[in-house]
Structure 1
Amino acid sequence: MAIIASFSTVIGFVGIFIKMGREKGASEAYQKEMRRDIDNNAKDINNLGAKVNNMEVENTRLITTLSNDLTWIKASLTKIDDKLSKKKGE
């Protein structure tokens, strides 16, 4: 009887160690997958940051161009207004 109890105990411990090993393996696999996802997300965030910086530069260039165009249009309208005022005055 003692042999059967000892054998059952050994089998129980072996079963527990096997179960713990499987859980540890599954946990490590999950951690590796999470690490891979985190690394991919970090790359995506860096890429988005670069895109935002490029967009800011492009927007600044566009705003400068529009400002110059508006200044030219304003100057042209002022000249036209001056010419019209001179013609009315004659």
Structure 2
Amino acid sequence: MLTPDVAVDLVSASLKLVMLLVAVLVLPGLIVGFVVGIFQAATQINEQTLSFLPRLLVTLLAIILTGGWMASQLMDFCVEVFRRAAALVG
């Protein structure tokens, strides 16, 4: 039977996983955006593509490098959810 404690544990685990996966994708882009912003402020070059293109490339590179790991984390989480569901049913 699904009790409030089990539901809270499931939601908590899913939110932790989402935050981890988002951080893996967002943090490299954030760091590159910060460095490009400092470069733009120092040189007074305000080109839009200079701020967008490096962040896009770094985000794509992060997806390429960590995509397999992220997929395995999601699959492990799904397997765990189905195991818990089977245990709750009977």
Q: TM > 0.5 between the two? A: no
Q: Report which of the two has the higher share of helix.
A: 1
Greater Rg by CA: 1
TM-score where L is the length of structure 1: 0.36
